Amino acid sequence: MMNNISTLFSIKDLENLSGVKAHTIRIWEKRYALLEPNRTDSNIRFYDEENLKKLLNVTLLYNKGFKISRIASFTPEQLQSKVREFLAKGDDLDHFVASLKLSMLNYDQPLFEQSYHRMLEGRSFNEVYVDIFIPFLQDLGLQWQSDTITPAHEHFITHLIKQKLLLNIDRVQQLPARFTDQTYVLFLPLNEIHDFGLLYVHYALLLRGFHSVFLGQSVPVENLVSLQQKFNSITFISYFTVEPEVEKCMDYVMRFNQLILTNRPDALWLLGRRTHELTLPDDLVSVKIFAGIDMLLHEFNQ
């Protein structure tokens, strides 16, 4: 299925990616010939990647006060030059989101690096991640699910963001933990490989001075027993994105409770879309579900 995703876009896809209403796109297209769509046999518009990239560039300048008539007069080279000029000096969130989209669609690593270093001017990495990367990644997930972008686009940009996250994890984990009475063990269930969210939780815990142990992808429940022989009080944190399967989530939690939590002062905290339909029994007090990372981290601000 992933390999069959088209690189052609509907006008609704353009609306989702650019934030410009389809009605406005049609007006710009008709009045200023900004885009050059192809049409199906039934006269429905569809657009290629070049049209999408151009619309993102146009939208960026339009949102910064350029009149659409002036933008329409630019040659392709002038349009690209103006956009890069704004991306190089801009410091607001719209600029950065636009630059992430453009670097993704163009597989442009230099643009990503340039934008990233601009993001860090006057901001901590944590602020960059929370205010820019997380909303961008959430939007990216919606676009991927609706077939608006290809897996290649997603892999390219998420790899670059993950590199930055790993670099900053390496920096903070060199600092000694300030709170050592509780250990946080982060793991993903068997066959779960989506570790992006869990990596950020690991970073956030280390940043706050907690003792965090990151085990990563596809960890069998039985393997967690060895950590209980090492640490007296553990909060296990896991992220259910695609595993366990929906109908098996409760069985997993109950088995975890029986093997790991019984007769121990430990707890299991869960995140991820597989948990959204999960309702825990009232007597299962050692297991807690969080709607999002922000809600989980709020526990440490109380």
CATH architecture for the domain at 2-170: Orthogonal Bundle (1.10)
Q: Which CATH superfamily is domain 175-301 in?
A: Cobalamin-binding domain (3.40.50.280)
What is the separation, in whole angstroms, between the first and last Cα of the chain? Answer: 45
User: Which whole-number Å values give the CA distances from 92 to 68, 88, 117, 229, in the listed order?
Assistant: 21, 11, 13, 49
DSSP 176: P
pLDDT at 249: 93
pLDDT at 122: 86
Q: Where are the domains positioned within the chain?
A: 2-170, 175-301
| Residue-wise pLDDT tens digits, 173-197 | 999 999 989 999 999 999 998 898 9
DSSP 238: E
How many CB atoms sit inside 10 A of residue 255's CB? 13
| Residue-wise pLDDT tens digits, 90-115 | 556 777 887 888 888 888 899 899 88
User: Which whole-number Å values give the CA distances from 31 to 28, 36, 78, 184, 251, in the listed order?
Assistant: 5, 12, 20, 58, 59
Dist. CA 273–CA 264, nearest whole Å: 27
| Residue-wise pLDDT tens digits, 203-239 | 999 999 999 999 999 999 999 999 999 998 999 999 9
Contact (Cβ atoms closer than 8 angstroms) between residue 80 and residue 70: no
